[in-house]
Structure 1
Amino acid sequence: MKVAVVGAGWAGLSAATRLADSGADVAVFDMAPQPGGRARSVAGDPPYDNGQHILIGAYRDSLALMQRLGVDVNAVLLRAPLALPYPGEPGLQLPPGPPLLAFTRGVLAHRGWPLPARLRLLMAATGWLVRGFRCAPGENVAHLCSGLPRVVLQDLIEPLCVAALNTPAAEASAEVFLRVLKDALFSGAGSADLLLPRRPLSELLATPAHAWLGPRLQLGRRVQRIEPEWQVDGEAFDAVVLACSSVEAARLTADIAPDWAHTAQQLPFQPIVTVYLQSPGSRLAAPMLALREGPDAPAQFVFDHGQLGGAAGRFAFVVSGAADWVARGDAGQAVLAQALRELAWASPPVLDRVLTEKRATFACTPGLQRPAAHIRPGLWAAGDYVAGPYPATLEGAVRAGAAAAQGVLAQGAAKGSPTNTP
């Protein structure tokens, strides 16, 4: 089969790798000068990341893809049991071991919460487990967790929700949030482990995939038109995988599949702002600290790049669900003030760089209609936004790419096209 993949983000690279491994003749097109999509590095010495990304142990497809491309995941990722320390506080820390036992032990050992609060969290988690981590499709996270003490909401539920779904708890889908909790906390030993990049983000997947794909990856080329059965800017293919953004996919399918294009075009977005500060000689108590968000405190997490193998004295503050701060236009100065109030510094921190990804993810709201992966025979969509149980994460993108590739290969096999479908 001859297959075009439009887009070289993590979804497109996942699809292209799976297709090429199965014997397909793959061509990958991306309008950007470098692969990786939103999960890439940008110019700097050393490079900055276009947003601070976190992986977790449950991202098995992402880790498998990295290994397939020759990446030593133990070298590029710092792995540690889930911990949410705050400045001057140890926070919740899960010990190693079976997930149910580790979660129970970690909650009971967290002396920062009163015992009744810890017990109420364990009771709520037990209820979610008994119900198979299911809830009404229209329920939001704030309602799902309304019976929990404020301290648990503030220190655990709200930061996890905004980190995983990039949507505030009052607006976020409880159905998707429960799926994240199920996979992260209860899907096997190590599934909740935090995996923090200790190399520039492009080295995790984009650069190795570029080397692996070679001339099959064409950068700086924006696809102008797709026509049925199947022409990509006049070149014939047996199938096409749209692994570009939902906005770009909607443009390319407006005439081919107008209903699908309309659904993709209607997706709401949430931005993420990453604020980089410089403070020579400074060091955090841990590579990652959680921060308490507030009216004058935009950031929910801060990362010490010096402890992650990057530039010493560089600190990345992450503002997720950042629509209000983008509208205000002063996230950088607000983060600097927050950092001065909440953290100790060996030298006065200065604002280094502010990176704003205005369409970082779709807003993961209750009952959101997401476009299907299968558009028409021979035409598939792959991206973290397609219909499925996961929010817009790296793992969601990788799985969507693999699923689209399998769909293409299955249709090719049904038509008698020669492939080596596993």
Structure 2
Amino acid sequence: MTRLAVIGGGWAGLAAAVEAVSLGASVTLFEMAPTLGGRARSLEGTGPALDNGQHILIGAYKDTLALMRRVGGDPDSDLLRMPLRLRYPDRETLRLPPGPPTLAFLRGVLTCTAWSLQDRLRFLATSSLWTLRGFRCDPALTVAQLCGGLPRAVRDDLIDPLCVAALNTPSTQASALVFLRVLKDALFSGPGSADLLLPRRGLSALLPTPARAWLLSRGAELRTQRVQRLEAQGRQWKVDGEVFDAIVVACTSVEASRLTRDLAPHWSAAAGAFEFQPIVTIYLESAGSALPAPMVALRESATEPAQFAFDLGQLGQHPGLFSLVVSGAAPWVAQGLDATGAAALAQAQRHFQWATPPKIVRVLSEKRATFACTPGLNRPDASIGPGIWAAGDYLAGPYPATLEGAVQSGLSAARSAMRQPVGATSS
């Protein structure tokens, strides 16, 4: 039986561990935090259970949804599925109806009365050109450069919020090539691919908690431990002195760079060279209040930081609890969390009606929420060396940092480890 070490208990590590166990490996998972889930988990503590950030899944996340089902989850009930809809406090913009993706997109744009007919036709013409070009462009382009010829209303209402939501990078800095790939897979990969899937339960309940139970019930070992050292031993590996046949390094890029510095210097340097974008989540409480919809888009500005607001009561979690999300939040983090929270609270007070005055419950900052998804970014491959693979949403590939990317990388790393287990033994 192949002895596999998985280092990191985020969604990539959990995917790798579950897949490896399914393929017959003896798995030991190392996670330095007291709870599994990495950057998509629920926080422990008193009061309402909060997540460390508000995550949105989409219908195109087929591998993530399949993994949730495999470990006993029920995404059909745990996630609220709704058509892609960008509703602002003062008006509706794009809303995609059900049906075949190309037809749904065409109908959605043509019926978007928030935009003039001329603007709608210009957007359809531009998106048709993207389709004809296979959703590819000059890798050096930013999203702002790619979309510079689009009408201002389309950029403000659709392009900029989708870009910062998907890539966590402002359109003036974000990779146009990655953005086009996201649009292709979300909008045109099949019926329901663009649907928004909003968590009805805490993030830990979606995957980390059921995955933990699934792994333990099948003999996997879970250790709360920060790995200090990896060493090669012939055709095997040592993890802090313990021998394994193969390793999946599924921790953050920073930790992965540290662990591989001596083993694979070039790979380590690439993993350690990322710049990061933070995400700030502001939780508000207002008894008896409700937003116009479970998710409402907001227009950010120099004084208003949040791009989206969520009504956790309408999502079946906590009535009277709301979250405001600030993606690409580096300028606001520089001002401090108190200032960011106060500005977001003032923004919410201006744009929504409240039954009782909203109060800040907590302001959370994930300083390394994602890598900055910029043009021409050098991302390391999954193969670190013989018998050792990486898993994580930062690896080379066409997607930005997403849960689906993390899960896909974990599944792939586990399969590679089981196909070519260096020094594997039979039992």
With the shorter chain as reference, the TM-score category is: over 0.9
The match for 1:262 is 269
Task: Report the alpha carbon displacement of residue 217 of structure 1 after superposing the two structures with TM.
Answer: 4.2
The match for 1:403 is 412
Quick one: which amino acid aligns to residue 224 of structure 2? Answer: G
Q: 1:79 aligns with which of 81, 84, 91?
A: 81
Alignment identity in percent?
62
Task: Report the alpha carbon displacement of residue 91 of structure 1 after superposing the two structures with TM.
Answer: 1.9
Quick one: which amino acid aligns to residue 376 of structure 1? Answer: G
Q: 1:90 aligns with which of 92, 98, 102?
A: 92
Secondary structure at the aligned position of 2:420 is classed as helix
Alignment of 1:179-190 (within 5 A): 179-190=181-192
Task: Report the alpha carbon displacement of residue 213 of structure 1 after superposing the two structures with TM.
Answer: 1.1
Alpha-carbon distance between aligned partners in 2 of 1:251 and 1:382, rounded to the nearest angstrom: 15
With over 3 angstroms needed to count, the CA separation of the structure-2 counterparts of 1:217 and 1:308, relative to structure 1, is: farther
Task: Report the alpha carbon displacement of residue 216 of structure 1 after superposing the two structures with TM.
Answer: 2.5
Task: Report the alpha carbon displacement of residue 313 of structure 1 after superposing the two structures with TM.
Answer: 0.7
The match for 2:356 is 347
User: Conserved in 2, the CA contact under 8 Å of 1:32 and 1:219?
Assistant: no
Alignment of 1:314-393 (within 5 A): 314-329=321-336, 330-393=339-402
The match for 1:145 is 147
The match for 2:229 is 225
Quick one: which amino acid aligns to residue 377 of structure 1? Answer: P
Residues 366-388 of structure 1 deviation map (CA, whole Å, 9 limit, x = unaligned): 00001111010101110000111
Instruction: Kindly indicate whether residue 302 of structure 2 is the aligned counterpart of residue 295 of structure 1.
Output: yes
Instruction: Kindly indicate whether residue 177 of structure 2 is the aligned counterpart of residue 169 of structure 1.
Output: no
Alpha-carbon distance between aligned partners in 1 of 2:160 and 2:412, rounded to the nearest angstrom: 31
The match for 2:209 is 207
User: Conserved in 2, the CA contact under 8 Å of 1:34 and 1:219?
Assistant: no
User: Conserved in 1, the CA contact under 8 Å of 2:245 and 2:423?
Assistant: no
Secondary structure at the aligned position of 1:307 is classed as coil
The match for 1:49 is 51
Residues 130-185 of structure 1 deviation map (CA, whole Å, 9 limit, x = unaligned): 00000111111001101101110000000000000000001000111011001000
Alpha-carbon distance between aligned partners in 2 of 1:82 and 1:113, rounded to the nearest angstrom: 17
Quick one: which amino acid aligns to residue 221 of structure 1? Answer: Q
Task: Report the alpha carbon displacement of residue 417 of structure 1 after superposing the two structures with TM.
Answer: 5.9
The match for 2:4 is 3
The match for 1:124 is 126
With over 3 angstroms needed to count, the CA separation of the structure-2 counterparts of 1:217 and 1:148, relative to structure 1, is: farther
Secondary structure at the aligned position of 1:263 is classed as helix
Q: 1:241 aligns with which of 244, 248, 252?
A: 248
Quick one: which amino acid aligns to residue 57 of structure 1? Answer: G
Name structure 2 gaps, 5 residues minimum: none
Alpha-carbon distance between aligned partners in 2 of 1:113 and 1:52, rounded to the nearest angstrom: 29
The match for 2:30 is 29
Quick one: which amino acid aligns to residue 336 of structure 1? Answer: L
Alpha-carbon distance between aligned partners in 2 of 1:107 and 1:348, rounded to the nearest angstrom: 37
Instruction: Kindly indicate whether residue 17 of structure 2 is the aligned counterpart of residue 16 of structure 1.
Output: yes
Secondary structure at the aligned position of 1:360 is classed as strand
Residues 283-338 of structure 1 deviation map (CA, whole Å, 9 limit, x = unaligned): 01100000011111100000000000111111100000000000011110010110
The match for 2:157 is 155
Secondary structure at the aligned position of 2:313 is classed as helix
Name structure 1 gaps, 5 residues minimum: none
User: Conserved in 1, the CA contact under 8 Å of 2:245 and 2:424?
Assistant: no
Instruction: Kindly indicate whether residue 4 of structure 2 is the aligned counterpart of residue 38 of structure 1.
Output: no
Alpha-carbon distance between aligned partners in 2 of 1:12 and 1:198, rounded to the nearest angstrom: 23
User: Conserved in 2, the CA contact under 8 Å of 1:33 and 1:219?
Assistant: no
Task: Report the alpha carbon displacement of residue 416 of structure 1 after superposing the two structures with TM.
Answer: 7.7
Residues 20-70 of structure 1 deviation map (CA, whole Å, 9 limit, x = unaligned): 000011110000001000100013433101100000000000000000001
Quick one: which amino acid aligns to residue 43 of structure 2? Answer: V
Alpha-carbon distance between aligned partners in 2 of 1:10 and 1:284, rounded to the nearest angstrom: 30
User: Conserved in 1, the CA contact under 8 Å of 2:28 and 2:223?
Assistant: no
Task: Report the alpha carbon displacement of residue 218 of structure 1 after superposing the two structures with TM.
Answer: 2.4
Secondary structure at the aligned position of 1:375 is classed as strand
Task: Report the alpha carbon displacement of residue 88 of structure 1 after superposing the two structures with TM.
Answer: 2.6
Alpha-carbon distance between aligned partners in 2 of 1:18 and 1:137, rounded to the nearest angstrom: 34
Secondary structure at the aligned position of 2:355 is classed as coil
Report the more deviating stretch, 391-400 or 42-51: 42-51
TM-score, L = length of structure 1 = 0.97
Alpha-carbon distance between aligned partners in 2 of 1:49 and 1:117, rounded to the nearest angstrom: 38
Alpha-carbon distance between aligned partners in 2 of 1:295 and 1:277, rounded to the nearest angstrom: 21
Secondary structure at the aligned position of 2:277 is classed as strand
Secondary structure at the aligned position of 2:192 is classed as coil
Alpha-carbon distance between aligned partners in 2 of 1:345 and 1:116, rounded to the nearest angstrom: 37
Quick one: which amino acid aligns to residue 88 of structure 2? Answer: Y
Quick one: which amino acid aligns to residue 27 of structure 1? Answer: T
Task: Report the alpha carbon displacement of residue 92 of structure 1 after superposing the two structures with TM.
Answer: 1.1
Alpha-carbon distance between aligned partners in 2 of 1:343 and 1:368, rounded to the nearest angstrom: 39
The match for 2:117 is 115
With over 3 angstroms needed to count, the CA separation of the structure-2 counterparts of 1:395 and 1:418, relative to structure 1, is: farther
User: Conserved in 1, the CA contact under 8 Å of 2:11 and 2:406?
Assistant: yes
Secondary structure at the aligned position of 2:314 is classed as helix
User: Conserved in 2, the CA contact under 8 Å of 1:76 and 1:198?
Assistant: yes
Alpha-carbon distance between aligned partners in 2 of 1:375 and 1:23, rounded to the nearest angstrom: 23
Alpha-carbon distance between aligned partners in 1 of 2:49 and 2:402, rounded to the nearest angstrom: 22
Q: What's the Cα RMSD here? A: 1.3
Quick one: which amino acid aligns to residue 21 of structure 1? Answer: S
The match for 1:394 is 403
Alpha-carbon distance between aligned partners in 1 of 2:54 and 2:377, rounded to the nearest angstrom: 26
